[in-house]
Amino acid sequence: MPQQRVMITAAAAGIGRSIARAFASEGAKVHICDVNEVALDAFRGDNPDIAATHVNVASEGEIEAWFDDALDDLNGLDVLINNAGIKGPTAAIDDIDFADWRDCLAVCLDSHFLCARRAAPVMKAQGSGVIINISSTAGLYGFGNRTPYAAAKWAVIGLTKSLAREVASRNITVNAIAPGFIITDMTGALSEEVQKTIIGRIPLARVGEPLDVANAVAFLASAEASYITGQTLCVDGGMVM
């Protein structure tokens, strides 16, 4: 199989880092971005063979510049993973500032659109490609006091299904992953009591690991998943079930 050329947003830590390492371990050429300089420095030190660029994915200009550099570095693109997302505000809707709403959607939704917009013509020209958008189980049910995040994650699924229809004739698949409770720096900051409550709702009775998501992404990017498109794969220990 030819070496895969992979771009991943927000991949210096957490789920994104695990995805990047999984692809690199299989011989793929990977180029990531992240906005966190400290995490990027640590990532570069641990993964010298993976290109890593500082990018604020809420900025159209920075995404455009990243694609210019990464496409030149990779000499093309086979797999795009839109992993960027932020927690957003936790509050009743009448207490949420519009600026905070927009910030959350800019990272969690707009970045997916901007990256897919740049990736699509490259993949169309070569007649193949894979786009994987990281949504959330919050994109499958209501999430009170987290409306910006949940709304963005619902929209990511809509983007995925619509784009999958649009590019299917060009041999491009587009799917979403909906992680449940995955242990990362963000979720790990929750109190032990809150974590126990969440685990009590998970049929498999354990938290997920970033590698659980990375394995699902690797499958959707593989030849074995070439007949799968427009789908949302939950990686949640059965919680949504």
Domain boundaries, the chain: 5-180+210-235
Amino acid occupying residue 89: P
Do 214 and 177 meet the contact criterion of CB atoms below 8 Å apart?
A: no
The pLDDT, as a whole number, for residue 192 is 85
The pLDDT, as a whole number, for residue 110 is 98
Please list the pLDDT of the chain residue by residue as tens digits (241 residues).
679 999 999 999 999 999 999 999 999 999 999 999 999 999 999 999 999 999 999 999 999 999 999 999 999 999 999 999 999 999 999 999 999 999 999 999 999 999 999 999 999 999 999 999 999 999 999 889 999 999 999 999 999 999 999 999 999 999 999 999 999 876 766 788 888 898 999 999 999 999 999 999 999 999 999 999 999 999 999 999 8
Active centre residues (catalytic): 149
Domain 5-180+210-235 CATH class label = alpha beta
Among 193, 175, 194, 186, which residue's Cα sits nearest to residue 235?
175
The pLDDT, as a whole number, for residue 1 is 60
CA–CA gap between residue 85 and residue 82 (Å, rounded): 9
Contacts of residue 157, defined as CB under 8 A and 6 or more positions apart, other chains included, come to 133, 135, 139, 140, 176, 178, 232
